[in-house]
Amino acid sequence: MEPAERFLLDVLAYLQCAMGLLGSLVLGLADSVYGRYTSPGPDLRVPARAAWALQELPSLAVPLWVCARTAAERLHRAPNSILLAMFLVHYAQRSLIFPFLIRGGKPVPLPTFVLASMFCVYNGYLQSRYLSQHAVYADDWVTDPRFLVGFCLWLIGMLVNIHSDHILRNLRKPGETGYKIPRGGLFEYVTAANYFGEVVEWCGYGLASWSVQGWAFAFFTFCILLTRAQRHHQWYLEKFEDYPKFRKIIIPFLF
């Protein structure tokens, strides 16, 4: 049973990579499925706060359910429990704090909401089942340079992501729904500083976990957020004549 599930988790990880590429392609072709690009229409939408809280919650709830309902044999190992904690800390912030700080966020189209929720179930299961049941690390993995550098990247990435989302949020006064040029923090260097933080965060997690499952999630995030960042960058250049031309899209000084 165990080798069969281990094989399944590898297949799910490679599928996640394929979903990242496909999602990037679909977003590139039909980007009017989220945020500022949704056109007013009669289609069903979920209010921003409810959408973010509910769609991200499975990434927190599924791992907790997996660990409570199954033996979770490997979680008594420090590397496994730290890595799962890294995943849960992010999603506790994303589903329990981030939604309630949103100011004037656009309602999320129902299909986007459903797809995001399904992805969170999928990824929550993949990461938590792998770490709680299958991942084997040496006892001294927590002092391995890959783990240490990965953990630092994860932490720095998360702080950049949270700080950048905070800057975006504070562009609006209560009740406002329009858009302004973001200033400060890494926005002085890139259009999508919040996405840059998120990509660094999950690359750090991938490095620290040194697993197909961890890297697959980092790759998926990179594919989706790179496409969104390119679209945002183009949008700012078209909308604001005084948009700083030297800003890169997502990676400071590079791209």
Ligand X SMILES: NC(=O)c1ccc[n+]([C@@H]2O[C@H](COP(=O)([O-])OP(=O)(O)OC[C@H]3O[C@@H](n4cnc5c(N)ncnc54)[C@H](OP(=O)(O)O)[C@@H]3O)[C@@H](O)[C@H]2O)c1
Using CB under 6 A as the criterion, which residues of the chain lie in contact with ligand X when the complex forms? 35-36, 48, 102, 104-106, 161, 165, 168-169, 171-172, 179-180, 182, 194-195, 198, 221, 224-225, 228
Please state the closest distance from residue 223 (CB atom) to ligand X, in A.
8
Please state the closest distance from residue 169 (CB atom) to ligand X, in A.
6
Using the minimum distance from each CB to ligand X, give the nearer residue, 146 or 166.
166
Please state the closest distance from residue 124 (CB atom) to ligand X, in A.
12
Give me the amino acid identity at 151.
F
Q: What is the C-alpha to C-alpha distance for residues 26 and 184, in angstroms, rounded to an integer? A: 32
Using the minimum distance from each CB to ligand X, give the nearer residue, 133 or 227.
227
Q: What is the C-alpha to C-alpha distance for residues 84 and 232, in angstroms, rounded to an integer? A: 32
- Calculate the alpha carbon distances from 153 to 99, 146, 150, 189, 204 in Å: 24, 10, 5, 19, 5
- Spatial contact of 230 and 248, defined as CB atoms under 8 Å apart: no
Please state the closest distance from residue 145 (CB atom) to ligand X, in A.
25
Using the minimum distance from each CB to ligand X, give the nearer residue, 80 or 161.
161
Using the minimum distance from each CB to ligand X, give the nearer residue, 42 or 178.
178
Please state the closest distance from residue 236 (CB atom) to ligand X, in A.
7
Using the minimum distance from each CB to ligand X, give the nearer residue, 75 or 120.
120
Of 134, 107, 94, nearest to 221 by C-alpha is 94
- Spatial contact of 153 and 189, defined as CB atoms under 8 Å apart: no
CA atoms within 13 A on the CB side of 194: 15
> How many H-runs (helices) and E-runs (strands) does the chain carry?
9, 2
